[in-house]
Structure 1
Amino acid sequence: MKRIRKIVNFRNRALLCLLALLLLVPSVAAWSASADPNPVPAERLKQGERIYRNGILPSGQHVKVKGDPAARGTTFSCASCHLRSGIGALEENVFTPPITVNRLFQPRQIFFKANYPVTQLRPAYTDATLLAAIRDGKDPAGREFNNVMPRYDLSDADAKILLDYLKNLSVNYSPGVTSNTLKFATVITEDVPQEERDAMLGVLNQYIAIKNSQSRAFGSRMNSRGRLMAENMLGSRDLTVRQLSLSTWVLKGAPETWRAQLEELYRKEPVFALIGGISHRDWTPVHRFSEDNGLPCLFPLTDFPAITDSDWYTLYLSKGYYQEGEGAARYLNGEEVAKEPKVVQLVRSSNRGRALAAGFQKTWSELGHPVPVTVNIAAGERLDRALLDKVLAREKPAVLLVWDDATALGALDSLASRKERPRVFLSGRYLGKGLWSIKEELRGFTYLTYPFSFSPYQPKIGMGRVSVQGDSKTALRQGEVPLKDRVETVQALTRGMVELVTTALMDMRDNYYRDAFLDVLGAMMDQYYPLYGRVGFGASQRYAARGCYITQLGKGADPQLIKKNGWEQ
């Protein structure tokens, strides 16, 4: 089920694009009404967090729901509806209100022109009425909640632990929010060529400059009528005047030294989030730094993300090369086979080869198949016909996965003359332009992973929205494949990231907490994104594009790349 937070409608989002993708932030004022002047011990807060997020009591038992003994608190946890940050949501016309203290411990009122209270919908909560709401489903005025709201069977001790946590949930704004600035950083590793760094930073810095210029205009020269219109359209009075800053964190040396560099950079300048970023090496050290510090890291440009099902703070566009291995495994699994096919992987000892092999092996095993035979090819070793013949004679595979670059194609030519030959799977990205040189006599039994949209790829250099059409095409010619110009690709992907981040910050309104930032991203409807077409978001989804096409080359001197399946997920 898709949770949709309908705060900014399509008309407002169109205005957002016309305003050059404004990125907007609230004041830093923090409020803690009704909070105990004595700080809650850290262990007690952790216990409350487990109840709120996971529905698990300090005893290790699951929270019980009144009237439904079979229901588990893990299914009906507070966070499943009110979200991790407590900012609430709208799902299928069911409104889940915010439960942060600046909302709970204030009367809920309807205002005229955003300033003058007209009527009170409910009084402010107290400790006693909040416990009654959790247990009995009644607000401070005694009105019954919708039956969607569970009534929790909590002891006095456990209920008070949860109450202490709620009083500390999203109380103080996150680091990186000052009185007039929201601070971001982007991470670049030194292996990235200068032209790619410039491509990403050019888009980000232009974006920051436009936003800050307009903030100054809103704050000084705009008349009150124009400012009110901007405030109403953008969702918050403070959003119109907040400044942004962007720091560039360049990591040098071996990846095992990156963590210490990041910690020092963060100590000197705490930021609200990491946006973008680019590396051709394993992103895992940056990922772990973000998770351990509770620091959002949004859509870094990396082919080697950390692969995890449990982390929260890092969002990726895809799983990179790993995802292509997954796609090959799912495609093979979906075919009707009389018996279990023997699968052999020839794996180049490189980041790309290892990621492809890992994605295939893990997914293939999870689908109930035997572990494939893996033959490693050393970094300086060439896959030639002698090595290939040796592997084929020894293993006699039905399926041969060759996770190598275009230098392997020469050895594969010999397969055309064999009466019994395996089906061959290659990575379209790893081959690069070499995929177009696959000989015609090989194309009938050679399959290529392809993790991008089949829509025409036409990035624009300006700040406007990148136009991406539907993905209805079944074939692409060489000139339509987005594997040629890395600089244009980086620019387009960065502009797409900027728009998503901007929309999320608007949807946050005044809830400028890091968890809220990720909550609203997870509640977005599917979006179109350069290269990847339609991408989806969800509360626990860390990879926006999750599929991969399996393709083949058509016939002729100017072949088409033809889909053989749907978007495998």
Structure 2
Amino acid sequence: MSLRQVGKEGGYRILLPALMLVLAWAGLGCAEPSGVAGLSHQEALRQGEAMYRFGILPSGEPMQAIVQGDIPVDGTMFSCESCHLRGGLGALEGKIITLPTNGRELYKPYIKAAEETLPKWGSMHPSMQPKELRPAYTDETLARVLWVGEDPAGRVLSYTMPRYELDERDMAILVYYLKNLSAELSPGVDPTTLRFATVYSEDADPQRVEVMLGVLDAHVRANNGQSRLQERRAKEGPFYKKKKSTAYRKWTLERWVLKGDPSTWPDQLEEYYRKQPVFALLGGMVPGSWQPIHEFCEKNRIPNVLPITDYPVISGSDWYTVYFSKGHYQEGEGAARFLRTQDEETRSRPIIQVFRDDLRGQTLAKGFRETWQLLGQSPAEERPLAAGAELDKGLLGGIYAEHPSATVLLWLEPRDLEAIKIPEQGQGRVLIGSARMLEGHLGKIPETLRQSLYLTYPYRLPEDMAKGELVLRSWLKMKKLSLSDLRVQSDMYFVGWMLAGVTMMMENDFFRENFLDAIDMMNDETYAIVTYPRLSFGQGQRYASKGCYLIQLGPGPQPELIPRSEWVIH
């Protein structure tokens, strides 16, 4: 009988006895987890994770499944994670509710009440106990629901739930993974405390670091100040006592200061983590690339929430760090998408990228290069300049002599643009630069250059910031802080605002994957952030602000920022 033919009429019983033997196989009586199907504990989890997250069998082939009763699908299209999320705690999408698939929830009865609101069963009269909707799963009934879609109560699940075509060994591995998924609270959590850390380097701007810490500390104090109310409620009866003892946690915030060369940072981070494991990293600040911290978090599966960095790691698959944006890369990306929307004549002109051969220039150029290529356009010519070299004032003249109609991207600093001259043959040609590179110096850009120069601007426009700034100022005043760095304080205000909501949403499920899943399920936010027009979240999305404006500068020493595009989405 093929697995596709297995049904609730009894065919699954052919496979279940063999499955139970496989589940019992390998090292009974060992003190350490023994694994399953002849695999070690870690290898079984690795293979099970590939099945759960990617729909890939231990053989390397895609899992096969049936949906809607008779439609065969590739398991990579319908992985368990896509509906039940990384942590297995389920999700809500419109009217569709996906229930938890982790062992802690599956292997206990499902009742029609939120467990944390209930006193212990022994203190309730049977007539008051909420209805049991299904008994606890066993290994056998969990395999059954995955094969044929029938739960321990005999209820047939929606046909949108895939019925997986797995042999008994592969099923044993998947069941073993689900039993261990979100089974124990993550490091950094104990019965009373949720521990966080923030990371910054000793060469980071000390004033900005102080501002960042001031806002984060204020959030910690605000959260912990609620403990008095929670403790009073805990004395009022079993309902609050249950909630207080299982869900509420005080916060602590460690400082992890990185010293010396970035090549030594991974070892420093590992040592900090060895001495005091934390649940997640909040914010953070280093002057260069965030890559060492990013890789540490990926390796140890530690969430890193919204660091302040211009140089995030650009990845389509890494998961544990959530960034405000792609930083300077996003500006290059925005320039490419802006040019792609122009008319055919403009798009067909030669494009020259001029940039300083340093981290900032390379990142801007890379953002444009990779996006322009992704959009199917011909490669731009690149002219890197030595980091400290004097700019040739005739640079544009030489470019236009070779390419009279060229669009030139000038990823250059204020001192360069102050000195640059536009030759007669370049009048009216489009130049693109970075507003972030020119911050504090916009009024020094020559008026003649402003007529041709478009700037990438990845923030909310100044005229749209008043309402959010008022909210931020009011909050800072309540916390006895003054407004001294709008962007840092706005960003860290949002981190704490988001953290309060997400930890409440997690209830007592303090698993790192659930923490990030909860962030992914947040609504788009425009109110609690001053510096960006919108922060958007979604499953697996790791860059919350997703675009930039193209602006020009008005006249005068304090030029108006004039938008020349809508928000360009990456």
Give the TM-score normalised by the residue count of structure 1: 0.84
Q: Which has the larger radius of gyration?
A: 2
1:142 is matched with 154
Asked whether 1:267 is paired with 2:274, we answer: yes
Q: Distance in 2 between matches of 1:247 and 1:303?
A: 23
State whether residues 216 and 241 of structure 1, in contact with CA within 8 Å, keep that contact through their aligned partners in structure 2: no
Task: Pick the aligned partner of 2:176 from 152, 155, 164.
Answer: 164
State whether residues 536 and 545 of structure 1, in contact with CA within 8 Å, keep that contact through their aligned partners in structure 2: yes
Q: Distance in 2 between matches of 1:107 and 1:370?
A: 60
The alpha-carbon deviation at position 239 of structure 1 amounts to 6.5
Name the aligned partner's letter for residue 507 of structure 1.
Answer: M
Task: Pick the aligned partner of 1:190 from 194, 199, 202.
Answer: 202
The alpha-carbon deviation at position 179 of structure 1 amounts to 3.0
Q: Distance in 1 between matches of 2:183 and 2:562?
A: 53
Relative to structure 1, the CA distance from residue 427 to residue 260 in structure 2 (aligned partners, 3 Å threshold; closer, same or farther) is same
State whether residues 396 and 421 of structure 2, in contact with CA within 8 Å, keep that contact through their aligned partners in structure 1: no
State whether residues 223 and 251 of structure 2, in contact with CA within 8 Å, keep that contact through their aligned partners in structure 1: yes
Q: Distance in 2 between matches of 1:135 and 1:553?
A: 63
What SS does the aligned partner of 2:133 have?
strand
- Cα deviation per residue 1:32-71 (whole Å; 9 max; x = unaligned)? xx99874312212111111110111112221112255552
2:4 is matched with none
Task: Pick the aligned partner of 1:323 from 327, 330, 336.
Answer: 330
Name the aligned partner's letter for residue 449 of structure 2.
Answer: L
Name the aligned partner's letter for residue 501 of structure 1.
Answer: L
- Cα deviation per residue 1:499-554 (whole Å; 9 max; x = unaligned)? 11221111111111111100110111111222112111111111000111111224
Name the aligned partner's letter for residue 453 of structure 2.
Answer: T
Asked whether 1:515 is paired with 2:513, we answer: yes
Relative to structure 1, the CA distance from residue 239 to residue 526 in structure 2 (aligned partners, 3 Å threshold; closer, same or farther) is farther
The alpha-carbon deviation at position 237 of structure 1 amounts to 3.0
Asked whether 1:433 is paired with 2:445, we answer: no
Q: Distance in 1 between matches of 2:546 and 2:172?
A: 41
Write the mapping of 1:157-556 to structure 2, written as runs, cut at 5 A.
157-219=169-231, 221-222=232-233, 224-225=235-236, 236-238=243-245, 241-338=248-345, 340-396=348-404, 398-415=406-423, 417-418=424-425, 422-454=429-461, 455-457=464-466, 458=469, 460-461=472-473, 463=475, 487-528=485-526, 529-554=529-554
Q: Distance in 1 between matches of 2:216 and 2:450?
A: 42
Q: Distance in 2 between matches of 1:352 and 1:547?
A: 18
Relative to structure 1, the CA distance from residue 288 to residue 70 in structure 2 (aligned partners, 3 Å threshold; closer, same or farther) is same
What SS does the aligned partner of 2:421 have?
helix
2:111 is matched with 109
2:53 is matched with 53
2:16 is matched with none
Relative to structure 1, the CA distance from residue 554 to residue 148 in structure 2 (aligned partners, 3 Å threshold; closer, same or farther) is same
- Cα deviation per residue 1:176-195 (whole Å; 9 max; x = unaligned)? 11232111110011222221
- Cα deviation per residue 1:153-173 (whole Å; 9 max; x = unaligned)? 111121111001111101111
What SS does the aligned partner of 2:418 have?
helix
Q: Distance in 1 between matches of 2:238 and 2:209?
A: 36
Relative to structure 1, the CA distance from residue 162 to residue 241 in structure 2 (aligned partners, 3 Å threshold; closer, same or farther) is closer
What SS does the aligned partner of 1:347 have?
strand
State whether residues 398 and 422 of structure 1, in contact with CA within 8 Å, keep that contact through their aligned partners in structure 2: yes
What SS does the aligned partner of 2:352 have?
strand
Asked whether 1:64 is paired with 2:64, we answer: yes
The alpha-carbon deviation at position 302 of structure 1 amounts to 0.6
Q: Distance in 2 between matches of 1:272 and 1:526?
A: 25
1:87 is matched with 89
State whether residues 215 and 240 of structure 1, in contact with CA within 8 Å, keep that contact through their aligned partners in structure 2: no
Q: Distance in 2 between matches of 1:465 and 1:120?
A: 50
Relative to structure 1, the CA distance from residue 420 to residue 222 in structure 2 (aligned partners, 3 Å threshold; closer, same or farther) is closer
Q: Which runs of 5+ in 2 are unaligned?
A: 1-23
What SS does the aligned partner of 2:355 have?
strand
Q: Distance in 2 between matches of 1:204 and 1:442?
A: 41
Q: Distance in 1 between matches of 2:436 and 2:555?
A: 20
Q: CA RMSD in A?
A: 2.5
State whether residues 413 and 439 of structure 1, in contact with CA within 8 Å, keep that contact through their aligned partners in structure 2: no
The alpha-carbon deviation at position 436 of structure 1 amounts to 3.2
Q: Distance in 2 between matches of 1:496 and 1:161?
A: 41
Name the aligned partner's letter for residue 156 of structure 1.
Answer: E
Give the TM-score normalised by the residue count of structure 2: 0.84
Q: Distance in 1 between matches of 2:272 and 2:385?
A: 39
Q: Which runs of 5+ in 1 are unaligned?
A: 1-33, 467-484
Name the aligned partner's letter for residue 334 of structure 1.
Answer: T
Relative to structure 1, the CA distance from residue 227 to residue 161 in structure 2 (aligned partners, 3 Å threshold; closer, same or farther) is closer
Relative to structure 1, the CA distance from residue 142 to residue 149 in structure 2 (aligned partners, 3 Å threshold; closer, same or farther) is same
State whether residues 465 and 496 of structure 1, in contact with CA within 8 Å, keep that contact through their aligned partners in structure 2: no
State whether residues 343 and 401 of structure 1, in contact with CA within 8 Å, keep that contact through their aligned partners in structure 2: yes
State whether residues 400 and 406 of structure 2, in contact with CA within 8 Å, keep that contact through their aligned partners in structure 1: no
Relative to structure 1, the CA distance from residue 70 to residue 148 in structure 2 (aligned partners, 3 Å threshold; closer, same or farther) is closer
